[in-house]
Structure 1
């Protein structure tokens, strides 16, 4: 019990750092809240005008704004959940709530784009009459509202995949409104009403791109893939090249949530090596060169007969089964010429 108390006490500085991040999270929440209010008010007006002017591009923009609002609400809920301390069965806390939110954002973008693409094609075949003037005024107002909302969210912490999800939604919307304004101008000047569904298809393409990106990035985190900027094989080779290290296996690198990587590995050290010094050395390399601070390294001395196998480059099953029933992933061994 005393050990547990001591370890908890040791978390003091980290807890303090967490608190300072909490302040920035509050600021994030405020900026996201302002963007949400802007979008919700404008969306209600836009749906009304879209129905009266019979403009699919406006209705598609409004539908897109609805997903913007949902994205921000999800982001706010996820932030609140992620800030909760780890307890009970949730040993990482609820940090992955932000990734669930990013995944939900990506999915809504793709589903909505499918529906809008269908509607747009239908209107290309049989274009209804569109009130271009009302469409143009609303689209221009939409550009202004979205620029303001984009600016608000850019003030929040975009390294979070969750906030990035909300940001992508709104940035997409900005481009969509520019497209709608151009289409409205075409309708007003030439009476070419197919410009309205054509603008909708441009919006759809943007939505698919953003939705796919969010699903891909959040999917990587759910599948426990290594961070995209870390090559686990190169990392293993780097660790085994450090002094006294003979072998590294069961090496896992994953992300708890965006920007929070974790690593675990089993490290075998030369019979005369200092296990604690090796562990500190490897932790330093991981912290300074890879920015990975959440590490769990199991460091053991290698048995003499295993060392012989490792030196002669033979792959024997005996060395792995000595400690581990089924080794995970590749085994990184020191090259014989290091000796």
Structure 2
């Protein structure tokens, strides 16, 4: 198997190194999320409420990264969980998408309703809280920046925080417009923009989670190309029962049956096939079954 035996691989090891930074960012954003939500209710600001909802995505995203790191660290604790607990991250992502879709729809409906008669908003407290949210996101951005280059989990949390910086800036702009011009429509307009920003990202998150759960091939991999590459390995005359799927973010897995030419050296073919999957497609865990060409019906029939 070579590199394929290390399920977590470099991604998990990199994430472990930055675990403390993740916890710091998680605590900081969780505290500000609560402050923003309470302030939104007190000030009547829909834009601030939508920003709190988006900060909720940041907190969940970082929480999922921490859960994935913890699960990977305990993957070998139970022999009955042969793939560890990596799917917890995917289930959390799907739950996150469902919740966020509901929040985004509520914000959009409420924003449209407020266009008819925008309510009075306490713009001063709204501005203060939005500024605090911006500072919190800047701090979290700095905490996660280094790890984002090494771990896909940290990269996802990093991008969430980066996007929330823009949302906080939008709320600040809305508060300033209300303070200096009295233009009350600024609040629902910013809320509408944030809601429209969240929806497509939520859709992509949920779609990715569902693809992983139904074990579809990763979108960036073409299964026909993988099959062709394996068939090109010296000594392989046929490739069948090829399956490629994602275990969790950054962990692609493959299995295949390889029919060998007469006289082919099994160890050499396996090494070349694993190298091809690893080097060309970044698939580090693959289970390959080899079958002599002279053995008819070695695989047996399948009905699925």
TM range (shorter): 0.7 to 0.9
- 2:12–2:69 CA contact under 8 A, matched in 1: no
Using the TM superposition, give the Cα deviation of residue 20 of structure 1 relative to its aligned residue in structure 2, in angstroms. Answer: 8.1
SS in structure 1 of the partner of residue 18 of structure 2: helix
* 1:123-147 Cα shifts (integer Å, max 9, x gaps): 1122111122332233223212212
Using the TM superposition, give the Cα deviation of residue 107 of structure 1 relative to its aligned residue in structure 2, in angstroms. Answer: 2.4
Using the TM superposition, give the Cα deviation of residue 175 of structure 1 relative to its aligned residue in structure 2, in angstroms. Answer: 1.6
Query: Where does the alignment leave 5 or more consecutive residues of structure 1 unmatched?
Result: 1-6, 305-318, 329-339
* 1:78-109 Cα shifts (integer Å, max 9, x gaps): 32123213333211111121222222222222
Residue in structure 2 matching 1:289, options 280, 285, 290: 280
Residue in structure 1 matching 2:26, options 36, 40, 51: 36
Residue in structure 1 matching 2:248, options 239, 245, 257: 257
Task: Please list, as runs of the form range in 1=range in 2, the aligned pairs for 1:179-190 lying within 5 A after superposition.
Answer: 179-190=170-181
2:68 aligns with 78
Give the 3 Å change call, closer, same or farther, for CA 93–73 of structure 1 in structure 2: same
Residue in structure 2 matching 1:125, options 116, 121, 125: 116
1:51 aligns with 41
* 1:171-228 Cα shifts (integer Å, max 9, x gaps): 3322211111111122122211011011001111111122122222222222212233
Using the TM superposition, give the Cα deviation of residue 51 of structure 1 relative to its aligned residue in structure 2, in angstroms. Answer: 3.1
Q: Does 1:270 align with 2:236?
A: no
- 1:102–1:215 CA contact under 8 A, matched in 2: yes
Residue in structure 2 matching 1:116, options 107, 111, 124: 107
CA distance in 2, matches of 1:276, 1:88: 28
2:52 aligns with 62
1:236 aligns with 227
Q: TM-score, normalised by structure 1?
A: 0.78
Number of equivalenced pairs:
303
2:125 aligns with 134
1:195 aligns with 186
1:325 aligns with 301
Q: TM-score, normalised by structure 2?
A: 0.86
Structure with higher Rg: it is 1
- 2:11–2:250 CA contact under 8 A, matched in 1: no
* 1:274-316 Cα shifts (integer Å, max 9, x gaps): 3333222222222222222312211122139xxxxxxxxxxxx
Using the TM superposition, give the Cα deviation of residue 18 of structure 1 relative to its aligned residue in structure 2, in angstroms. Answer: 6.4
Query: Where does the alignment leave 5 or more consecutive residues of structure 2 unmatched?
Result: none
- 2:140–2:161 CA contact under 8 A, matched in 1: yes
